A and B are shown apart, each in its own frame.
Chain A
Amino acid sequence: MRGGEGASRAPVLQLTNCRILRGRRLLREDLWVREGRILDPEKLFFEERLLADQRRDCGGCILAPGFIDVQINGGFGVDFSQATEDVGSGVALVAQRILSHGVTSFCPTLVTSPPEVYHKVLPQIPVKSGGPHGAGVLGVHLEGPFISREKRGAHPEAYLRSFEANAFHDVLATYGSLDNVRIVTLAPELGRSREVIRALTARGICVSLGHSVADLQVAEEAVQSGATFITHLFNAMLPFHHRDPGIVGLLTSDRLPPGRHIFYGMISDGIHTNPAALRIAHRAHPQEEPLGPSGGVPEPGCPHTPSSVPGGPYPPPPQSLPSLLSRHQDPVRQHSSDGRVHPAFPAGHRLQCGVSPGGCVAAPRPATGTGEAQGHPGLRG
């Protein structure tokens, strides 16, 4: 099989009889891999003059980049917002169990909590590479406590905070260390939010707008300060209004910094949003694919686990992922978008040559801050 010389060379694996997601389409193409990196087979043929050393028949399956869940509060009995002595085991359990749902990286999400909880929990959730043992931990998503009282949803009112007094210092005091933090959801109408957004963005943290009553102008200013994401679009924010579209209007705003893209998550379980809303969002901005937080997936993904949220347990979303897929007219796109896709992945995002296929296959998106391909999907600034 081998065309060239050198028996000590790493073997080339050719995955055949499969469909790969490429250029926003599902193509009948083989996938070539060597030492955990995707190869350009044409280059391999003409430059290195090699054939595959091993072939594996994929039985017609789709090979897609692993999903990345950017908003998951726990699951399988685990609640990330609970300050226990062994948060790590809970994270590991969830990491392992979500693999079978196609998720290969995630951001454990903490809801609004008192500072003691953050100080205790955050150091116990380090960034960690994924593997057969479980999905990789990209960093924590802090949803709150700097959110709107009116739009707090199921977040506990007692622990809401503002950073009006000391801006970024308040943020640091509340959370403790930001070392393991990847995303912060905040309400931009809070005083001094622009300062805070700039400070967080400067540290490579993705700022997301959510749980907010901001109007479009405030939202645009937040984006100009560095915000790049919207947490569960439509939910916990003002509804779209034709005279002031609010945060939703960011999808079609013409006041964004040039070249900046806005990404958004949506809970597309059919309960938190109507599928028509998902389609409207998608059609308004087809380049940016919606990401579904775990709320759209059967078991592991209730955005708020019953134990942490007063007001009673939330029923698990009834739709399974396959039925979600069949609802949407464009199942190919939804393959990557219903299952909580990373913001750095446009739908149909590419399997890029030179990249580890293990779930971190993003082509860097400048908006979210150019993630480099190997293992660092582009949330980093």
Chain B
Amino acid sequence: MRLVILDNYDLASEWAAKYICNRIIQFKPGKDRYFTLGLPTGSTPLGCYKKLIEYHKNGFLSFKYVKTFNMDEYVGLPRQHPESYHSYMWNNFFKHIDIDPNNAHILDGNAADLQAECDAFEDKIKEAGGIDLFVGGIGPDGHIAFNEPGSSLVSRTRLKTLAMDTILANAKYFDGDLSKVPTMALTVGVGTVMDAREVMILITGAHKAFALYKAIEEGVNHMWTVSAFQQHPRTIFVCDEDATLELRVKTVKYFKGEHLHLQSNM
């Protein structure tokens, strides 16, 4: 893996946004050649989305030939509910850029047949030629998307019941009222994300530090599903200093390249 450590949240968001931007531009997308991007929600990627919007508005980056696939969506929440992931993506990203609405894919948590909806999502990814870059986050319980502890590391898009940790973490978006938080969601599987050609995980904040430790310094374990990416050929973890608080000094120094300075001084 690559572990990229930035001083703070803003710098981490900017680094991630620049990486995505460069990937898209280098790919040279066009009419018959779409760049496929997997996208997360939540508070962590907000800074990154803001930066991407800035690059778009400055004319550096167009999403005209980009297809997006979001990781998840709540079940049973109306699409126009302010806390639905459709609303999140519209308000925080889609409405500010030039993506074709037909190319922005989000799971429908109100579909009549939820499993069929999930299967169709997998098919759409296949039709699009697979995902070039899947951007994700990590939950405090180490989950990727809504692949809660105990999820199969080869799972596909499906319906999942949310873990207590996740419901508690989400309560702040529902007026702190636990009874209002959805308890189920449709989510891409760990296997679905592992199929992407490249994966970038954004992890910021001290409250995610333990999960990051479990994900990269301990073994591959279905209780910390992000750990699956230890077996992916191209994964980048982008974090801020606070997220590294539970890591070994040796790990951090290695990835910051500090030991290399010693070499050049000799």
Contact = CB atoms under 8 A, between A and B. Distances in A.
B95 A51 contact: no
B80 A42 contact: yes
A50 B86 contact: no
Given A46-B79, A46-B86, A46-B90, A41 B95 contact: yes
A44 B94 CA distance: 12
Contacts of B95: 30, 41-42, 45
A48 B90 CA distance: 14
Contacts of B86: 42, 46
B177 interface: no
Contacts of A30: 95
Contacts of A4: 101-102
Interface in A126-177: none
A3 B100 contact: yes
B87 interface: yes
Contacts of B98: 51
A279 interface: no
A65 B100 CA distance: 30
Interface string A1-41: 00110000000000000000000000000100000000011
B90 A45 contact: yes
A43 interface: yes
Nearest to A46: B86
Contact of A49 (B80, B87, B101, B106): B101
Contacts of A40: 80
A50 B80 contact: no
A45 B86 CA distance: 10
Interface in A307-339: none
Nearest to B79: A46
A50 B101 CA distance: 6
A42 B101 CA distance: 10
A49 B98 CA distance: 13
Contacts of A49: 101-102
Interface string B56-97: 000000000000000000000001100000110011001100
Contact of B94 (A43, A45, A48, A50): A45
Interface in A43-100: 43-46, 48-51
B236 to A, nearest CB: 30
Contacts of A43: 80
Nearest to B104: A45
Nearest to A48: B101
B114 to A, nearest CB: 18
Contacts of B90: 41-42, 45-46
B21 to A, nearest CB: 21
A46 B104 CA distance: 9
Nearest to A45: B101
Interface in B97-116: 98, 100-102, 104, 106
Given A46-B101, A51-B101, 7 more contacts: A3-B100, A3-B101, A3-B102, A4-B101, A41-B95, A45-B104, A46-B86
Interface of A: 3-4, 30, 40-46, 48-51
16 contacts: A3-B100, A3-B101, A4-B102, A40-B80, A41-B95, A42-B87, A42-B90, A45-B94, A46-B79, A46-B90, A46-B101, A48-B101, A49-B101, A49-B102, A50-B101, A51-B101
**CB-CB nearest 8 A-B residue pairs:** A49-B101, A3-B101, A42-B90, A45-B101, A3-B100, A3-B102, A49-B102, A46-B86
